[in-house]
Structures are given as C-alpha cells and as structure tokens.
C-alpha cells in the first residue's frame, strides 16, 4: 500500500541548536496517525515544516509517491493539506464566516463584490457538518469564547473539498467533552473517506481511542512508530520521557488536618444555588461535573471574580469579605485559571513580571517602583521549586513550552504562601512529563497544609489526586463522596445523576 504522504530526512536547527533531526514518517489514507512526545520533542517543528511556515534544513516529501515541495502555506493548501494549530491565530475583528474561508477566495458577484449571502451559507454548512449549531456565521470572532474560536478554526480546516490530509495539533485542548465528541465523529468520517489524519495530543485516552498508529518523538528524533494495539500507556510514557513513571499520582505523605480551613455556607451567585462545604488544611477536594455544572463558576465566586449574592465564606474561622480577585489573593487564596494563555499570562512579558503580577504592591518601593532585585530572587527560588525550565526571570513567557508556561502560573500562585489553592484544569495542554511535575507540585502543596480545590475534566486525575469529590449539577452541590474506591464509571454516573448520593 502506497503512503498518501511520505516525509523523509526532515531536519531543522535554530541558531545551530537542532530542533528536528532526520525525522521520517509515513501517513496512509484511511488512517489516524498519532504523534506524541514531550514539549520540545520536535512535533511542532515537523508540523511547521509541513505547513510551509518555516524552511527546513533538509526534507523530502512525496504525495501519492510523487515528489512535492512545500515552501509556503499556499503550497501546502494546494497539495491538500489542512492544519488545525494549537494557537488561536484567528482575526478577532472579522466574522466567523470570514475566518472560516480566510485562506480561500470568497465567493463574488460579477467577479468583483463579495457575495456575503453565499459566504454565510457556506460557513453555515461547514458548522452544521461539525454539529455546531450555537455559532452564527455573522458573529464577530472577538465575542466568542476560546473554545468556540477553536471550533471555528476546526471548521476552517474542513472548508473546501480538495483536502486529503489533516494535521491537528492539540485540537481538543480548549474544547468541552461534548465538542470533542463531535470532532471525533468528524475524524471518523474523514477516515472513512480515505483521508489521512496526523493527530498530535498529550491525552492518552484520546490517542488510544482514535489512533491506528502512534509515532513517538524525543529530543528532535523519531523514536519509534507502532500500532496502537501493540502498545500501552506505560510503554509510551517510557518512550517519550526516557523514564518509568511508576506512580503517576504521588501518594499522600502527610495526614489531613481535622479542622476546617475554608468554609462555604449557603453560597448563592447568578450561577450557583445554596452551595455549602468545608475544605480542611492539606486536603485536596476535586470538583467534578459536566460542562455547565457550575465548577468553574464556584471557583470564580471564591476568588472574587463573580459576585456573591448571599452566603458566607470563612478562612481559618475568619470571614472572607473580598469583592474582587485582588482581595481574594490578599486574603490568602491563589488561583490557577483554566486558560493560561488568555487568562493567566501576559505572553509578551517576562517570567518574573508574570510571577509577581498579582503581588506588585509587595514587590514595589513605596508602591511606585518595582523592586527588580526582589522580583528576580523570588522568581529564581520559585522557579526551582516548581521545576521551571527557563533562561531566567527575564525570559519572555511566550518563548516557553506549554508545560513551563503553566509552571510560571503555579509559581505566581505560590509566591505569597497561600492558604488555599484554586486550580482550574491545571494540566490542560501540557505533556506527560510536565503533568507528572504538576501532580508532584499539587501533592507538595498539600503536604505543606495548603487546602486545594481541583477542577479537572480528566477523571483519572480526580481519582488519583483527590481525597473527596464534590459533584456539581446545574449550579448545585449534588453529592459529596470519598475518592477512594470510586471508579471512573462510578464518578461519571454521579456526574450524570444516575446514582444516589453516597458517603
């Protein structure tokens, strides 16, 4: 069987530092081929070479066994390659329809004027094919959430009819479970049509569900390609990291305090009704629930981003009266948001600036001038504690990998020795090695007596890290259960409301 696309001897260096070394890969029609590896393994560099975004030092490409050259994105488009990049590189001022067909010629009347009716109809058809009914073609992109913007990017990849190869880089990172399911259904349709899908993901469950073969990269090289049926998650982790992660979720080493640290009584907001619970010092409580259940809204209310209509919050027995996130941070709460790039970081600023961002009054002389020495020394200390790999406190954050960007957010959360950590999807979009580091950070914070509220869409994380689970449904606390002994199926059933409250 002839490969649809063959990549041979692909290499690329930046400033004499190799990012990709003699990589070779074959993609077959009717196949989903997963590409896995830690951040910095060379995956993104390989994709950029295929997209014509960067120039290779060397590469040989064959499409249906005929040699081709890609030196510009237009070359890749004409060859039938479509890309869904991880970054949200949309044009926020344009409409959904304009973004979907941005890389193509808009339909025109008399060859001169854009036929907006046809453009909107075509965009609507693509969105319907993806099962996206809530996004209108005329909506301005800036008004959409990050998840909906990603859906538009995915729709753009499926616009047109001459594509045969789809390259998807972490396409579900900003999607809900329901949106991801719709994407998987479309991928299966592409596979049935004989298209090839190169699927880059850190999520083992996704890879083992949809991929036929898996290629592992490490340190810029292709380590191996294997049939999915012939391998296992532990084997892939070893190939990606060069080490065995025997205990993916570090065990508890310190007992949980018997005294409540954070107390929430009869909390009401625009999205929450009568939520009450307590969090002990050193305890990790997981917030579980379906999309729209109120998990993120609860954390937003606790940090002060959402207005509390009624109810009482206490920290170590003292009332919490803050009305904004700045007050929440000052009170001893720290927050790691769901979307680090849009909510947690200023990508154009330095590591040190991002670490000290909520604490500027603490790092300033007379509240006017930033104490750079204090900032640099604290950033260095916190960087070591969170295992940050960077060139120092002055390095610009956008130059870091996703895992190291997330560690910057963690360093900021730990900068003022918080009493409570509020973590919303803390491992989203990071590789398996960085995930293990973050799990270790969470466990270490717990051992220090910090109370932790953890939101995660990955059920194994909730079961592997948490002591108790709060089940949210439609803005209410539906159940509170111990994590020990609970299975993924049991937890999912609780989230759907199919089981009665236990524990």
> What are the tens digits of pLDDT across the range 98-113?
999 988 888 888 778 8
Q: How far is Cα 469 from Cα 483, in angstroms, rounded to an integer?
A: 6
Local confidence band at 302 (pLDDT 50, 70, 90 cut-offs): very high
CA distances from 233 to 228, 240, 428 (A): 10, 10, 18
Specify the pTM. 0.70
Residues with Cβ within 8 Å of 500's Cβ and at least 6 positions away in sequence, in order, are none
332: helix, coil or strand?
Answer: coil
Residue 502, pLDDT > 60, answer: no
Q: How far is Cα 354 from Cα 407, in angstroms, rounded to an integer?
A: 11
Q: Which residue has the higher pLDDT, 476 or 243?
A: 476
Q: How far is Cα 66 from Cα 214, in angstroms, rounded to an integer?
A: 24
Residue 93, pLDDT > 90, answer: yes
Residue 457 near residue 369 (C-beta atoms within 8 A): no
Q: How far is Cα 273 from Cα 309, in angstroms, rounded to an integer?
A: 10
Q: Which residue has the higher pLDDT, 229 or 430?
A: 229
Q: What is the pLDDT of residue 243?
A: 66
Q: What is the pLDDT of residue 15?
A: 78
Q: How far is Cα 211 from Cα 197, in angstroms, rounded to an integer?
A: 9
Local confidence band at 244 (pLDDT 50, 70, 90 cut-offs): low
What are residue 234's phi and psi, to 5 degrees?
-60, -40
Local confidence band at 322 (pLDDT 50, 70, 90 cut-offs): very high
Mean pLDDT is lowest, of 17-21, 270-274, 277-281, for: 17-21
Q: How far is Cα 203 from Cα 340, in angstroms, rounded to an integer?
A: 18
Q: What is the pLDDT of residue 400?
A: 85
Residue 312, pLDDT > 50, answer: yes
Report the pLDDT averaged over residues 323-328.
91
Q: Which residue has the higher pLDDT, 360 or 503?
A: 360
């Amino acid at each position: 069987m002839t490969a649809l696309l063959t990549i041979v001897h692909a290499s690329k260096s930046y400033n004499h530092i190799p990012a990709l070394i003699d990589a070779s890969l074959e993609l077959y029609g009717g196949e989903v081929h997963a590409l896995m590896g830690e951040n910095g393994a060379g995956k993104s560099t390989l994709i950029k070479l295929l997209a014509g975004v960067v120039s290779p030092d060397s590469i040989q490409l064959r499409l249906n066994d005929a040699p081709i050259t890609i030196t510009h994105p237009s070359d890749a488009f004409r060859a039938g390659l479509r890309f869904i990049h991880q970054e949200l590189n949309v044009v926020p001022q344009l409409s959904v329809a304009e973004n979907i067909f941005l890389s193509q010629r808009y339909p025109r009347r008399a060859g001169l004027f854009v036929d907006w009716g046809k453009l909107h109809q075509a965009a609507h058809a693509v969105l319907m094919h993806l099962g996206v009914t809530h996004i209108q073609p005329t909506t301005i992109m800036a008004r959409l959430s990050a998840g909906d913007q990603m859906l538009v990017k995915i729709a753009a990849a499926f616009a047109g009819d001459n594509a045969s190869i789809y390259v998807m880089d972490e396409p579900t990172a900003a999607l809900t479970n329901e949106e991801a399911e719709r994407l998987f259904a479309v991928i299966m349709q592409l596979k049935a049509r004989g298209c090839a899908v190169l699927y880059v993901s850190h999520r083992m469950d996704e890879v083992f569900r949809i991929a036929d073969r898996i290629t592992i990269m490490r340190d810029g090289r292709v380590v191996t390609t294997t049939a999915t049926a012939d391998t296992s998650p532990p084997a892939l982790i070893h190939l990606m990291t060069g080490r065995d992660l025997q205990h993916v979720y570090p065990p508890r080493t310190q007992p949980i305090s018997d005294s409540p640290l954070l107390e929430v009584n009869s909390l009401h907001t625009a999205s929450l009704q009568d939520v009450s619970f307590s969090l002990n010092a050193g305890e990790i409580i997981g917030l579980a629930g379906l999309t729209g259940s109120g998990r993120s809204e609860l954390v937003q209310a606790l940090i002060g981003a959402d207005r509390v209509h009624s109810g009482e919050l206490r920290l170590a027995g003292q009332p919490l009266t803050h009305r904004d996130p700045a007050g929440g941070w000052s009170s001893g709460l720290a927050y790691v948001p769901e979307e680090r790039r849009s909510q947690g970081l200023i990508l154009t600023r330095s590591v040190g600036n991002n670490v000290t961002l909520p604490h500027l009054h603490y790092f300033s002389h007379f509240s006017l001038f930033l104490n750079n020495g204090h900032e640099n020394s604290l950033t260095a200390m916190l960087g070591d504690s969170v295992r940050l790999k960077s060139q120092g406190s002055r390095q610009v954050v956008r130059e870091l990998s996703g895992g190291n960007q997330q560690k910057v957010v963690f360093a900021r959360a730990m900068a003022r020795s918080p009493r409570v950590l509020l973590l919303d999807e803390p491992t989203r979009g990071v590789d398996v090695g960085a995930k293990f580091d973050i799990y270790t950070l969470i466990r270490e914070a717990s051992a220090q007596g910090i109370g932790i509220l953890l939101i995660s869409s990955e059920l194994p994380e909730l079961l592997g890290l948490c002591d108790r689970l709060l089940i949210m449904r439609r803005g209410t606390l539906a159940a509170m259960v111990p994590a020990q002994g609970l299975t993924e199926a049991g937890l999912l059933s609780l989230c759907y409301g199919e089981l009665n409250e236990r524990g």
